[in-house]
Amino acid sequence: MQKELEAMRTALVLRNYATRTIDTYVSLLRRYLEQLKKPIEDVMPTDIQEWQFSLVGKKVSWSLFNQAVCALKFYFKHVRNCEWSVELIPFQRTRRRLPTVLSRDEVARLLEASRRNPKHYAMVATLYSTGLRLSELLSLKILDIDSAEMLVHVHQGKGGKDRQVQLSPQLLTILRDYYRACLVKPTTWLFPGARPDIPMDPSGIQRMITIAALKARIDKHVSPHTLRHSFATHLLEDRTDLCTIQAILGHSNLKTTGIYLHVATDHLKSVRNPLDHLPTVGAPSSGRSR
């Protein structure tokens, strides 16, 4: 098994996959190989589909199921160079739900609920003002805050891509206040963990936002990603075009960004309904026709 795992890791590294993706794919391949009861060279699509069916029976999440599909497709195509088509390994479809979005008033209340702790306040403000993913927030370094150009540099975001987002003057003030309030000044990471040389643990931020949402009396499930959704939705309501929002969020596909068209209520209200703009035809008669 170890030989197969090392070959998988090597193939992923050579193709410049992100470190987190490499670790995930290798882990999922290990999970598959551990239950395999025949030599790997004898595996056919029906064998993989049987394993997939067992995953469905265990009620694994949609995302984990499809990550496993991606991992196995990569392995059988690029490592084993199998003769059969990897397209025979099916993905699992899911019903797409609209994201949870906070109103502007709810965002203000969430910020107010976290204000007493300068670090918590700065993290909530950064998530909302930049639309960063939680992993991207944790990877921010002090040098990524470019006050001269008023930009935030995001290095190796999802898919291993770099991008830049706008640095709000108000966010810059909040970050400077946070830095001044730190007894032990951050030297590398903008939001260090218990030790200054390591980033903060993601579970700590998730827990902090959950508590702040309760204090703010927000009757919604609020997570760090909710602030990203809210940021994008509010940009759209302010008439920012979808392509710009796509670039800011770091989406590879415009379809992903397009989901915010369904939740931007101000945007929907501005649409001219065709029924309201038909030629005047007179009001319907309330009496019986003769």
Catalytic positions are 133, 158, 225, 228, 251, 260
Torsion angle in degrees (nearest 10) through CA of 62, 263, 254, 158: -50
Closest Cα to residue 196, out of 282, 260, 131, 119? 119
**In the 8-state DSSP scheme, what is residue 239?**
T
CB proximity list for 248: less than 8 A, separation 6 or greater:
131, 163, 165, 166, 232, 235
Cβ burial of 9 (10 Å; 0-12, 13-18, 19+) is: middle
Type of residue numbered 230: S
**Distance separating alpha carbons of residues 108 and 112, to the nearest angstrom:** 6
